[in-house]
């Protein structure tokens, strides 16, 4: 009796797998379905969105689904693009040392993979584009498992933004169909499937006049002022944020000559909350009269979705030397002070 029950369950599982595989092949053949994943910071999200723009340019009818982790940069950035957004559970890899953190990592990875299998079976993508960060792990591992079971006829593309691959990309790259590389020297690490394609930059990062850019911004800058744009990446930098607030005192005598645009960042962890910390420091450092003067030459915001417009009006960019920022600034040939 038990053998019959087990055999029936096994038969049902095989039939379900065959049905899922047939449905997947039918849907992926009928239209270009692309699942995008990568995040934690804008450095992983923005290249993914740039690749999506490139795909849409070649395949206008493509359907996209973005998968990330709730509460991270992708929840803010992708939400403004119009792409459907789903969330899975994931945390960063804490290292191999046995600890409660490693147990939590594997437990959440298992949960995230289960969620990813449900998402993959429902969406049935033709391609998966992963741009790194621990956010990508559940989706890619789940896709590899479904491919191993011959359920998922999906191709996996991993993009590496740095010259030295991140932990996830280094581990998963050998099983990806293609590893898309920014730097030629990284090719030696992926001799069989590495392809140098450069760093993808969004279409919104383009040369435009100062007048065109100002028309879409919530503030005005007189033509006589020099504009300095300061930011520490999508998450922000504690040192840069506090440094620029403190430096404003030295700019008070020159407030009619300069305009400072400050990107504070999205970081909101137990250790540091970028916006709250910056606002508190600003309020406590300057008198009401000084704050009124600074409002005429200093504008701050957590994250600039229209960063292309900010670049366009800037005479100087001061930022961390992240891969994304470097490529965007280079594309626009903007003078910059880079912080390692």
Domains defined along the chain, listed by start: 26-196 (3.40.50.2000), 210-339 (3.40.50.2000)
Residues 6+ apart with CB under 8 A from 8: none
| pLDDT of residue 296 exceeding 80 | yes
| pLDDT of residue 7 exceeding 60 | no
Which of the four pLDDT bands, split at 50, 70 and 90, describes residue 21?
confident
Q: Which whole number is the average pLDDT over 37-44?
A: 90
Give the angle 25-27-28 at the CA atoms, nearest 5°.
Answer: 65
User: 């923005």: which residue's tokens?
Assistant: 46
Assess contact for 279 and 244: CB atoms under 8 A.
no
Which percentage of the chain shows pLDDT scores above 70? 95
Q: Which whole number is the average pLDDT over 27-45?
A: 90
Strand partners, 180: 159, 195
Residues 6+ apart with CB under 8 A from 243: none
| pLDDT of residue 52 exceeding 70 | yes
Assess contact for 245 and 282: CB atoms under 8 A.
yes
pLDDT at position 164 is 87
Which of the four pLDDT bands, split at 50, 70 and 90, describes residue 63?
very high
pLDDT at position 16 is 67
Query: Nearest to residue 74, comparing CAs of 133, 152, 29, 127?
Result: 133
Q: How many CB atoms lie within 10 A of CB 174?
A: 11
| pLDDT of residue 11 exceeding 60 | no
Which of the four pLDDT bands, split at 50, 70 and 90, describes residue 19?
confident
What single string gives the DSSP state of each residue in 24-88? HHHHHHHS-EEEEE--SSHHHHHHHHHHHHHHHHH-TT-EEEEEE-TTSHHHHHGGGTT--EEE-
Condensed to tens digits (0 to 9), the pLDDT of residues 123-154 reads 999 999 999 888 899 999 999 999 999 999 99
Which of the four pLDDT bands, split at 50, 70 and 90, describes residue 10?
low
Query: Nearest to residue 80, comparing CAs of 34, 56, 45, 44?
Result: 45
CA atoms of 108 and 219, how far apart (whole Å): 43
pLDDT at position 14 is 63
Strand partners, 299: 261
pLDDT at position 129 is 97
| pLDDT of residue 18 exceeding 80 | no
Structure token pair of residue 277: 């910390």
């Amino acid at each position: 009796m038990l053998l019959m029950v087990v055999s029936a369950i096994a038969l049902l599982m095989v039939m379900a797998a065959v049905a899922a595989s047939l449905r997947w092949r039918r849907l992926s053949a009928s239209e270009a379905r692309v699942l995008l994943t990568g995040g934690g910071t804008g450095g992983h999200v923005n290249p993914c969105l740039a690749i999506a723009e490139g795909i849409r340019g070649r395949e206008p009818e493509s359907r996209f689904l973005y998968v990330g982790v709730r509460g991270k940069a992708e929840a803010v950035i992708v939400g403004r693009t119009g792409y459907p957004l789903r969330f899975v559970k994931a945390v960063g890899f804490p290292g191999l040392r046995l600890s409660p953190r490693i147990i939590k990592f594997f437990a959440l990875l298992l949960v995230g993979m289960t969620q990813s299998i449900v998402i993959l079976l429902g969406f049935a993508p033709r391609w998966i584009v992963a741009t790194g960060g621990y956010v990508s792990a559940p989706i890619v591992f789940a896709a590899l498992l479904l491919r191993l079971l011959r359920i998922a006829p999906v191709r996996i593309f991993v993009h590496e933004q740095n010259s030295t691959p991140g932990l996830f990309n280094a581990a998963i790259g050998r099983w990806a169909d293609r590893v898309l590389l920014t730097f030629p020297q990284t090719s030696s690490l992926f001799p069989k499937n590495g392809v140098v394609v450069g760093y993808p930059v969004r279409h919104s990062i383009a040369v435009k006049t100062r007048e065109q850019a100002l028309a879409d911004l919530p503030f005005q800058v007189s033509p006589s002022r020099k504009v300095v744009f300061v930011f520490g990446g999508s998450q922000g930098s504690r040192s840069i944020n506090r440094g620029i607030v403190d430096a404003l005192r030295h700019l008070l005598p020159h407030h009619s000559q300069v305009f400072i645009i400050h990107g504070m960042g999205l970081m909101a962890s137990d250790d540091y909350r970028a916006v709250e910390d910056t606002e508190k420091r600003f309020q406590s450092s300057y008198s009401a009269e000084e704050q009124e003067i600074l409002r005429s030459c200093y504008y701050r915001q957590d994250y600039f979705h229209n960063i292309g417009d900010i670049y366009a009006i800037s005479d100087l960019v001061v930022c961390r030397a992240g891969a994304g920022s470097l490529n965007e600034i280079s594309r626009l040939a903007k003078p910059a002070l880079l912080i390692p």
